[in-house]
Amino acid sequence: MREITREEWLHLAIEALRPEFEKVDFPLPEKIHVSVGFGYGAKRESAKILGQCWSSLASEDGVNHLFISPELKDEARVLDVLIHELVHAADDCKNGHKGAFAKAAKALGLTGKMTATVATPELTEKLRDLAKALGPYAHATLYPMGKPIQPKAEPKPEETPEEEPPVHSGPKKQGTRMIKVQCSTECECGGYVVRTTQKWIEVGMPVCPFGTVMEVSA
């Protein structure tokens, strides 16, 4: 017998959870897309997005898209996060984390801050039973920042520390880039120069000692 994929596992979980949503009068849509992947726009809501649901309005086929973080492997926690996203799907993301969403989430056994819910002990026990019935969740935890490593012995003075191997195919993370900002040479300051970051430029351009708004230097 072949091992079911993680997406198949999630779809089976959704069907198993449908009756629970019916009990709280918050039925799920007939069709739902679900997969494993990182949420879009990380840090808009929290430093780590464990799950995400997209409104049917954002989908070409009018079906909600759900994503479960690849950082999660524990089956009960995966189901816990899945329920949170399914509540969004049942609500079609209309109420955010308030109103009907919060009412249904609590009725289903989610507790804590509504933007980052966790299952109650009672719900966790039920989810562990469901996970056993579904079988193994065919997934290996993905570590975006690299696998946790054991402390290494300090290199000897003559040794050069090895560079950590890359954990993804994208570009390397760059250090903070300092941007040159300069005042006009026609100003009384004579062309005052400072260096700052894009973060502070977006807040507001610096002003020279004579009160002139400075500009980014080419």
Segment 90-135, tens digit of pLDDT: 999 999 999 999 999 999 999 999 999 999 999 999 999 999 999 9
**Residue corresponding to tokens 């933007």:** 115
Edge-to-edge order in the sheet of strand 179-182: 193-196, 179-182, 215-216
Segment 38-63, tens digit of pLDDT: 888 654 444 578 999 999 999 999 99
**Residue corresponding to tokens 């198949």:** 8
Q: Dihedral of CA 57/113/36/78: which sign?
A: negative
Q: Dihedral of CA 212/213/217/218: which sign?
A: negative
* Interatomic CA distance for residues 14 and 12, integer angstroms: 5
